Amino acid sequence: MYTAKESEIKEPISFTGNTWVPVPYRITGKKTESKHLLTLTMEPAGEESIAPIAAGQFNMLYVFGVGEIPISVSSLDTPHPTLIHTIQQVGPASKAINSLDVGDTIGIRGPFGTVWPVGAADSKDVIIMAGGVGLCPLRPLIENVLSERDRFGEVNILYGSREPDRIIFHQDIIAWQSDPSINFHITVDHAFSHWRGNVGVVTQLIDKASFAPDNTVAFICGPEVMMRYGAYACMDSHVDERNIYLSMERNMKCAIGFCGHCQFGPHFVCKEGAVFPYSVVRSHLNIAEL
């Protein structure tokens, strides 16, 4: 994996320091992952770019005349200033983004938010648990871990999809399945006759993982109920709750803690997250519609 260094970035690209103003980016690649889910590759349309983004952070993607939405970076396997985002069609802005073609222009503000604390897992076993499109924010973390595999003990990637047709990042999954240095397991909630793999929720895969509970860090992303029970599964396996991290998703409008749309209890996801230690948000995960 390529790791961008600021010293390697060449002119005429310059960073913008104004997070209110979208920077124009041009779509250079478009790939269908599953129904209503596309991965876009984007390059600056002019001489300005946003600053380098890290695993766990997000950008605000703006469709001119429609609106903007927060989207986590879904891969860092390209040199800066290239951006890769995977967008699910769930509303007007995401629908408009997914209708764009190669060559079209989009606005980018960012990067925002906290990062996956990969350094906390140095010399430790790792559990990476993803549910559905929660694999998108975790994919850059997986790239980081695998690019420096010797830094970690056992590496477990546990991925759950609602059904086989909704599995994403197929080439990555094939690579992870064939990589002897990691323990990769996949499951689906509902299976068809041609499916020969695990059936059930992703939290059940914890029994297939290999780790020393007192020396393990877990990273979890997916629907909130899945993350809550994913954390429970890790703690039932005696992983310390202080070593569990979640990525929360909230509807963000400003991304700088001004509008209040992303408030989660006393926290603002755009400024204090989206990556949180489980211990910080534990009590709020049990409150419906918070």
Mean of pLDDT values over 244-257: 80
pLDDT in tens, 176-233: 999 999 999 999 999 877 888 999 999 999 999 999 999 999 999 999 999 999 999 9
Mean of pLDDT values over 148-169: 96
In the chain, the domains with their CATH numbers are: 6-112 (2.40.30.10), 118-284 (3.40.50.80)
SS3 call for 17 = coil
**What torsion, rounded to 10 degrees, do the Cα atoms 100, 171, 230, 181 define?**
-150
Mean of pLDDT values over 158-183: 96
pLDDT in tens, 107-158: 999 999 999 999 999 999 999 999 999 999 999 999 999 999 999 999 999 9
Dist CA 274 CA 28 (whole Å)? 27
Average pLDDT, the chain: 90
- Cα-based angle 269, 277, 61 (whole degrees, multiple of 5): 30
Dist CA 82 CA 30 (whole Å)? 13
Dist CA 206 CA 264 (whole Å)? 28
Cα dist. 78→19, 127, 176, 202 in Å? 23, 25, 19, 29
pLDDT of residue 9: 34
60 pLDDT band (50/70/90 cuts)? very high
Nearest to 173 by CA among 189, 190, 192, 160: 160
